[in-house]
Amino acid sequence: QFSIIFLLFEWTTKNCIKRMSWIQSLYKIHDLFGNIKILENYPKSSHKLLNDAYKFAANGHKNQKRKSGEDYITHPLQVALYLAELNLDKETIIAAFLHDLIEDTDVTYSDIKKDFGKEVADIVDGVTKLDKINYNSKEEAKADAIRKMVIAMSKDIRVLILKLADRLHNIE
């Protein structure tokens, strides 16, 4: 849990000071630490696994940046924070940390399954599959998006919830 807090503090301090006044930086750091209650929602027996998932994702996304210039790991971290605030189960939080690895890195479904179990790997795989198909028209894309959401809900509602949190962070 300390590595998540330290990395978040380090990133926040570095990025906030670049973009904001000193006072605004302090408020931003406090805000993020207020939200870092992610581990407090889960029993201590889950903390190591949650921390391992964060480290696995951070390692997988190292040297990747978002369009904003931020380190990519800030995105899965924020998605995990959204879901932790909703008190979702630890498997969903772990999947939130890992959700872009299959699509954006060399990490495979098998790697995630081996380290975090089939349930987590299936959630990550479900989120990945929601974006894979290209369409000829907007109508076709909209119809298929609804179809995929219904299928995702019928298999595991957590796939859809995670995807919605992912989209929410991407539009902010």
Active-site annotation holder among 31, 70, 85, 104: 104
| Residue 103 a catalytic site member | yes
Q: Collapsing DSSP states into helix, strand and coil, what is residue 12?
A: helix
| Residue 104 a catalytic site member | yes
Smallest CA-to-CA distance from 84 within 36, 135, 144 is with 36
Tell me the CB-side half-sphere exposure of residue 164, using CA atoms within 13 A: 13
Active-site annotation holder among 103, 131, 140, 144: 103
Distances (CA, A) of 159 to 7, 32, 91, 130, 168: 27, 25, 11, 9, 14
- Residue 80 tokens read as 């995990």
The catalytic residue positions are: 103-104
